[in-house]
Amino acid sequence: MVFGLPLATNPAYLERKYRISNMPQIHPKTTPIYQTSVFTFEDLNALEHYFEQPGQSYMYTRYSNPNSDELAEQVNALEGGAGAVVTSSGMSAILAAILTLCKAGDHVLCAEEIYGGSSTLLSKELTRIGIEVTFVPPASIYSLQPFVQPNTRLLLVETMSNPLLQVTDIKRLALETKKQEIKLVVDNTFASPIITKPLALEADMAIHSVTKYLSGHSDVTAGVVVCRHPDDLQRVQQVMMVYGLNLSPFESWLAARGLKTLRLRMRQHSSNALAIAGFLQAHPKVEQVWYPGLESHPHHTLAKEQGQGMFGGMMSFRIKDDREAVNRFMQALRHIPFAPSLAGVSTSVSYPLGTSHRSLKPEQQQTMGITAGVIRLSVGIEEPEELIADLEQALAEV
């Protein structure tokens, strides 16, 4: 009712409807933000059309929205998949991927060297709903037979591990998972599809924390699952809808905007990181540097081949194993903030022992080599000389 009259007969409503229907066609260069929770239908026939031909129209933003669809299509084009589904965070993307392939009573393999949040999700939460988890040490990652059970469904790995940048040979691992008749799910967050395309190397799913490089400006929280097989894609969509893992229209729009500069940003991230890694490797107060672009890195050749000559913007380095020395270093930085995330256009440092891998047991941290002196560095796109100068004066305080 408007002004006491039914909409169908209200003159003001009819006049407005006429004006809108007779407006000239609008062709925006940038997709508008469809900031709505629900879409309307003309009648019951239109509703039936929605269910009979999925994807032709919209009903409810938890199911789909033009902005989230645009983002999914763009990421899928970069990864070369059968389709993608965007989610509310990187963690919800991992959850959606696992729930797509697993149910209670199934078994999951996970690389031992992985983001602490992923490890916690598997070991603390998915085990509560009846999914078994086994962590595979690096030395055994290409020989899975001792770890595979009749109910094993997938292996979860990272293209480059967080935080010590160990590089996974995805093609080799895909051959092994096919041999064991399980799916390979690759977290490609550290690399981005500009550097590595896991699906082209025969992985079954690629996942990203869109929060990081894909969006790139530290102002969005989002995730995405990209599938090589259409059957998996349909199931991911179902999980996203039913569990309410959808991404909002505004954040979808922001992420799609950030994605437009991904290629340019990754080149600058990689170029800056290589220069800084060389500086840190030569510094007397730095005991070790983990960056695949350095020839001293054990996986340098693999990273060069798999990464098309780029190595990304992430690295870690170790000063002496003294928490107070790390604190002095961070306090002395003038332009590089301590921020427990990564991959923004601005450089930042993080402390894995106190943030990303805090929830792991001390023996797990030690096994992975995450000691008190390890600092993770997310290299931005600033002038590399300015970053090196800031690092140099801060290291003088160690």
Burial of 81 (0-12, 13-18, 19+ CB in 10 A): buried
321 a catalytic residue: no
302: tokens are: 């693999």
Gap between the Cα atoms of 270 and 309, Å rounded: 10
Whether the per-residue pLDDT at 360 is higher than 90: the answer is: no
Q: What is the pLDDT of residue 374?
A: 96
Whether the per-residue pLDDT at 17 is higher than 70: the answer is: no
Backbone angles phi, psi at 263, to 5 degrees: -60, -45
Q: What is the pLDDT of residue 390?
A: 98
Instruction: Name the DSSP letter for residue 60.
Output: B
Kindly state whether residues 137 and 87 are assigned to the same domain: yes
Whether the per-residue pLDDT at 315 is higher than 70: the answer is: yes
Whether the per-residue pLDDT at 1 is higher than 60: the answer is: no
Whether the per-residue pLDDT at 5 is higher than 70: the answer is: no
Report residue 6's pLDDT band, with 50, 70 and 90 as the boundaries. Answer: very low
Report residue 364's pLDDT band, with 50, 70 and 90 as the boundaries. Answer: confident
Kindly state whether residues 228 and 291 are assigned to the same domain: no
Q: What is the pLDDT of residue 56?
A: 83
- Any domain includes 72: yes
204 a catalytic residue: no
Domain boundary among 259, 277, 296: 259
Domain boundary among 259, 289, 322: 259
Whether the per-residue pLDDT at 11 is higher than 60: the answer is: no
Query: What is the spatial order of strands in the sheet that 348-350 belongs to?
Result: 288-290, 314-318, 374-378, 348-350
Cis peptide before 137 (omega within 30 of 0): no
- Any domain includes 359: yes
Report residue 16's pLDDT band, with 50, 70 and 90 as the boundaries. Answer: low
Higher pLDDT, 11 or 227: 227
* Interval 88-100 mean pLDDT: 98
Q: pLDDT tens, 127-180?
A: 999 999 999 999 999 999 999 999 999 999 999 999 999 999 999 999 999 999
Gap between the Cα atoms of 376 and 289, Å rounded: 10
3-state DSSP assignment of residue 341: coil
Q: What is the pLDDT of residue 4?
A: 43
Higher pLDDT, 52 or 381: 381
Kindly state whether residues 204 and 334 are assigned to the same domain: no
C-alpha separations of 88 from 37, 120, 133, 160 in Å = 15, 18, 24, 23
- Any domain includes 135: yes
Q: What is the pLDDT of residue 13?
A: 45
322 a catalytic residue: no
- Any domain includes 137: yes
Report residue 14's pLDDT band, with 50, 70 and 90 as the boundaries. Answer: very low
* Interval 326-343 mean pLDDT: 96
Where b means 16+ CB within 10 Å and e means fewer, 83-117 reads: bbbbbbbbbbbbbbbbbbbbeeebbbbbbbbbbbb
Q: What is the pLDDT of residue 195?
A: 98
- Any domain includes 19: no
Domain boundary among 241, 259, 277: 259
Higher pLDDT, 18 or 70: 70
3-state DSSP assignment of residue 139: helix
Q: What is the pLDDT of residue 26?
A: 78
Kindly state whether residues 227 and 300 are assigned to the same domain: no
* Interval 88-104 mean pLDDT: 98
Kindly state whether residues 369 and 305 are assigned to the same domain: yes
Q: List the CATH number of the domain containing 348.
A: 3.90.1150.10
Q: What is the pLDDT of residue 385?
A: 98
Kindly state whether residues 296 and 317 are assigned to the same domain: yes
Range of the domain at 205: 61-259
- The residue annotated as part of the active site, out of 62, 171, 257, 328, is 62
Total domain count, the chain: 2
Gap between the Cα atoms of 259 and 383, Å rounded: 22
Q: List the CATH number of the domain containing 209.
A: 3.40.640.10
Q: pLDDT tens, 65-88?
A: 999 999 999 999 999 999 999 999
Average pLDDT score, the chain: 93
Q: What is the pLDDT of residue 12?
A: 52
Whether the per-residue pLDDT at 345 is higher than 90: the answer is: yes
Kindly state whether residues 303 and 334 are assigned to the same domain: yes
Kindly state whether residues 113 and 202 are assigned to the same domain: yes
- The residue annotated as part of the active site, out of 153, 197, 212, 376, is 212
Q: What is the pLDDT of residue 85?
A: 98
Whether the per-residue pLDDT at 303 is higher than 80: the answer is: yes
212 a catalytic residue: yes
DSSP secondary structure, 197-253, as one string: -GGGGT-SEEEEETTTTTT-SS----EEEEESSHHHHHHHHHHHHHHT-PPPHHHHH
Whether the per-residue pLDDT at 24 is higher than 70: the answer is: no
Please answer whether residues 163 and 365 qualify as being in contact, where contact means their C-beta atoms are separated by less than 8 angstroms.
no
Kindly state whether residues 196 and 276 are assigned to the same domain: no
Write down how long the chain is.
Answer: 398
- Any domain includes 149: yes
Q: Which H or E run contains 314?
A: strand 314-318
Whether the per-residue pLDDT at 361 is higher than 90: the answer is: no
